[in-house]
Amino acid sequence: MVLVFFAYFALASIAAGVLTVALKHPVHCGLALLALLVHVSGLFILLNAEFLWAVQVIVYAGAILVLYLFVLMLLNLKTDDRYFHSSYLYFLVPAAFGSLCVLALLIRSPFGGAKGDATTVAILQDGDTHAVGIKMFSEYLLQFEIVGVFLLGAVIGAIVLAKTPKPVSRERKA
Amino acid sequence: MVPLSAYVAVSAVLFITGLLGVLIRRNFIIVLMSVEVMLNAANINLVAFSHYLESMAGQLVALFIIAIAAGEAAIGLAIIIVVFRGRISTNVDEMNLLKW
């Protein structure tokens, strides 16, 4: 059963990713990106990461994608006839070849490693959100604060960039 | 039980799709969307390893990546607005003022 869900979410997210890159109209690309984000959040559910699932749906699909759609609607972009780069075939063929090589290597790898202490049973005891919170506010507190300062800087930068520039007054010019 | 390499393969395919989008698309907004596809691929990878190696670190880093993606989207779209206000189109090939 898990295998069926995994196959669905994986194939749908890959198809949505390809559509995001390949569709012509920017709004259609945004909708394909929405499909990709929702299916990736389904993969998070399969991996016992319910908190990330909620964050993915709320922050990514709810906030970031709406920001993209706002800017798309605001700018009223016209679609170009040549919407791919002129020499895209030179990228496409090496990319297909390289991805096949990488996939062959990845499928064969065993991916062993040192295991941590967050077993599935331990996580399910209090829920994933509890486990994430305990870890974030103990070991990762500094990174959490840095991300907070980063977001503040991003907000200020976005406001400064997008502000309408003041018209230069004539008295000062003269 | 789904093997870990299946998740990693999905993530690799998505990442390459996003990278290809950054390289071949000419619309700046869609280039930014392709960056989001790449960030999602990285998130799948991190959460999959976090689950299979039984450590919380991957999920936390994925959370930070989502926060940084939000900042990146805000700044990138503000730059698009500035560029569009200067009557330059959002075609990445025509934005070459910073090119020396």
- Do residue A68 and residue B77 have CB atoms under 8 angstroms apart? yes
Mean pLDDT by 10 residues, chain A (174 residues): 93 94 89 95 92 93 91 74 72 83 81 78 84 91 95 93 75 55
In a domain, B27, yes or no: yes
| Structural domain total, chain A | 2
Q: What is the pLDDT of residues A12-61, one digit of tens each?
A: 999 999 999 988 888 899 999 999 999 999 999 999 899 999 999 999 99
Beta strands in B1-100 (DSSP E): none
**Could A83 and B67 be called an inter-chain contact, meaning their C-beta atoms sit closer than 8 Å?**
no
pLDDT of residue A111: 77
Assigned token pair, A126: 């209090």
Residue B42 sits in a domain of what CATH number? Answer: 1.10.287.3510
Residues of chain B with pLDDT under 50: none
A40 contacts in B (CB within 8 Å)? 40, 43-44
Share of chain A above pLDDT 90, in %: 47
List the domain range (segments joined by +) for residue A154.
Answer: 126-164
Report how many domains make up chain B. Answer: 1
Q: Is B57 within a domain? A: yes
Asked whether residue A6 is domain-assigned, the answer is yes
Give which of B9, B24, B91 is closest to A21, Cα–Cα: B24
B76 chain-A contacts, CB cut-off 8 A: none
Interface predicted TM-score of the whole assembly (ipTM), two decimals: 0.90
- The answer to whether residue A19 sits within a structural domain is yes
Asked if the structure places residue B96 within a domain, the reply is no
% residues pLDDT > 70 (chain A): 91
Is B92 contained in some domain? no
**pLDDT score, position B38:** 95
Q: What CATH number does residue A61 fall under?
A: 1.20.120.1200
So what's the pLDDT on residue B94? 73
**Chains A, B: CB contacts under 8 A, how many?**
229
Burial of B100 (0-12, 13-18, 19+ CB in 10 A): exposed
Q: Would residue A106 count as lying in a domain?
A: no
Domain end position, chosen among A14, A47, A77: A77
What is the model's pLDDT at position B35?
94
CA distance A171 to chain B (A): 25
**pTM, two decimal places:** 0.87
Q: Which domain holds residue B31?
A: 4-85
Specify if A27 maps to a domain: yes
